[in-house]
């Protein structure tokens, strides 16, 4: 690697010691940054320098660092997941920045995702919504024959597109209302489109929407920001399908 390509940036990062502690933006200079580094590797360098000075490292989440798990959600210079389209923060590389740039890094700013520490937020609301109905009930025992339930190709593809959601919360963080309807719609759609999800279809729509409202997420006003930032390009058509599923479930449940 050519060291002449290395540069320095100023990172303005949100520091907050705990959920009830006040937070503030703190600036750090990060030197010896390579354009080939990922954004998270740059944060690793920052944390190494802080540890050498006996300072607390910046808390942030990551796991796969391959754009698969969805845990690395951050706001970079005001952009959810950074400036690259349909990607996660771990897929953002430092070649997007120049020597001397000031980079502002913040956590998701959503009421339903309270800050735990620094850049780490509590996204367990999404887990509770999944537990409310994002599953199918099957008898345990031997695995069923894979081809015993035929599925139309177009329906299977739609279901797979909805199932691509990685639950990162970017849709919520980008929405001016803090709505989780794209996430909820994707999870309802992926099962509603398949015959395996049919028996619990109505109950699933009712319970997941009720859980979404209970968690304090906002309502959709068709801003389309959620689709614009989704790393997996989940479509807002899933919100429309969720609304239909919910209305039909309400209609038949009252008979």
3-state secondary structure 64-77: CCCCCCCCCCCEEC
Higher-confidence residue: 140 or 202? 202
Domain 124-135+150-253, CATH among 2.60.40, 1.10.1060, 3.40.720, 3.40.1710: 1.10.1060
248/59 Cα distance (integer angstroms): 44
In this prediction, residue 141 has a pLDDT band, given cuts at 50, 70 and 90, of confident
In this prediction, residue 254 has a pLDDT band, given cuts at 50, 70 and 90, of low
Q: How do residues 5-50 score in pLDDT, each as one tens digit?
A: 899 999 999 999 999 999 999 999 999 999 999 999 999 999 999 9
Write down the architecture of domain 3-117 according to CATH: Roll (3.10)
Contacts of 219 (CB under 8 A, 6+ apart): 177, 179, 181
What is the reported pTM?
0.91
**Strand blocks (E) in 109-255:** 115-117, 120-121
- On whether the CB atoms of residues 163 and 186 are closer than 8 A, the answer is yes
In this prediction, residue 2 has a pLDDT band, given cuts at 50, 70 and 90, of very low
3-state secondary structure of 229: helix
């Amino acid at each position: 690697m050519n060291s002449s390509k290395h540069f320095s940036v100023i990172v303005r990062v949100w520091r907050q010691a705990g959920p009830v502690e006040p937070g503030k933006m703190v600036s750090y200079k990060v030197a010896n940054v390579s354009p080939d580094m990922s954004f998270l590797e740059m944060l690793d360098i920052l944390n190494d320098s802080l540890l050498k000075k006996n300072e607390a490292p910046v808390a942030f989440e990551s796991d796969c660092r391959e754009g698969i798990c969805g845990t690395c959600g951050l706001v970079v210079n005001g952009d959810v997941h950074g400036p690259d389209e349909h990607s996660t923060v771990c897929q953002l590389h430092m070649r997007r920045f120049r020597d001397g740039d000031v980079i502002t890094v913040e956590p998701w700013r959503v009421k339903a995702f309270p800050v735990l520490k620094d850049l780490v937020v509590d996204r367990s609301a999404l887990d509770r919504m999944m537990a409310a109905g994002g599953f199918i009930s099957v008898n345990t025992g031997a695995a069923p024959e894979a081809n015993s339930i035929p599925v139309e190709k177009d329906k299977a593809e739609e279901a797979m597109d909805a199932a691509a959601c990685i639950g990162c919360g970017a849709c919520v963080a980008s929405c001016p209302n803090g709505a989780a309807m794209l996430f909820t719609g994707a999870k309802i759609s992926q099962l509603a489109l398949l015959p395996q999800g049919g028996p619990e279809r109505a109950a699933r729509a009712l319970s997941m929407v009720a859980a979404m409202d209970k968690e304090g997420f906002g309502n959709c006003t068709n801003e389309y920001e959620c689709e614009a930032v989704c790393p997996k390009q989940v479509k807002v058509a899933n919100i429309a399908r969720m609304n239909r599923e919910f209305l039909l479930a309400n209609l038949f449940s009252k008979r």
